[in-house]
Chains A and B, each alone.
Chain A
């Protein structure tokens, strides 16, 4: 059973701080990893994808992947109240067309 684990939170950070969201996955064959943001009552929105070990930066977002530890993280720098949402982590195995989603971490950025 492939699993993706996330702390449900909520993770509360002050405005301007760095928010760190973490995710672990069980399937060592996972090759593609995705972070989605989902506002309450809305659909998931793709933020980042990462495929190789290391860091990938896009604006205020940095995704980090460590395949040896089966660990993916998302850092949000200079957090804004508009970043308050649930963040979903997904992992996809090579050759599989079905990503496995975590249950999401709720992030609250307070002014």
Chain B
């Protein structure tokens, strides 16, 4: 079974621009979560989607948004990029809505904001 895929893998953007990242979960998985990982803050939760509904949102400004499509694929968008948004953005999928299930991470998108 193919794993979680994320595109693009690397991205360089300029302050003030916006960016859209894409995630395709493992086939059959309906829950998709997004995380931001930086050396200083570690792994921080952004949001989680299940059946096209955002169920939870982390402590990030409104510049960070996301959505999930009917095929469970998900996108996240960051508008008005800031230097501090430079990070590894990780998507993780889980089979069902049961929170006790394990999450499987994609390879991540490394975003650099200059």
Instruction: Give A contacts to B, CB under 8 Å.
Output: 31-32, 34, 36, 42-46, 49, 51, 88, 92-99, 101-104
Q: A44-B90, A103-B42 are in contact. Are A94 and B99 (CB under 8 A)?
A: yes
| Set A45, A51, A95, A97: member contacting B31, Cβ < 8 A | A97
Number of A-B contacts (CB under 8 A): 53
Contact B102 A43 (CB under 8 A): no
Classify the interface of chain A: helix, strand, loop or mixed.
Answer: loop
B interface residues, Cβ below 8 angstroms from A: 31, 33, 42-43, 45, 48, 50, 55-56, 58, 88, 90, 97, 99-100, 102-108
**Contact residues in B for A97 (Cβ distance below 8 Å):** 31, 33, 48, 50, 55-56, 97, 99
Nearest B residue to A44, CB-CB:
B105
What's the nearest-Cβ distance from chain B to residue A29, in Å?
12
Contact B90 A99 (CB under 8 A): no
How long is the Cα–Cα vector from A37 to B27 in the complex, in angstroms?
A: 23
CA distance A51 to B33 in the complex (A): 21
Nearest chain B CB to A26's CB is how many angstroms away?
A: 15
A-B residue pairs, 5 tightest by C-beta: A101-B43, A32-B100, A43-B105, A103-B42, A97-B99
Residues A96 and B107 in contact in the complex (CB < 8 Å), given A44-B43, A44-B90, A101-B43: no
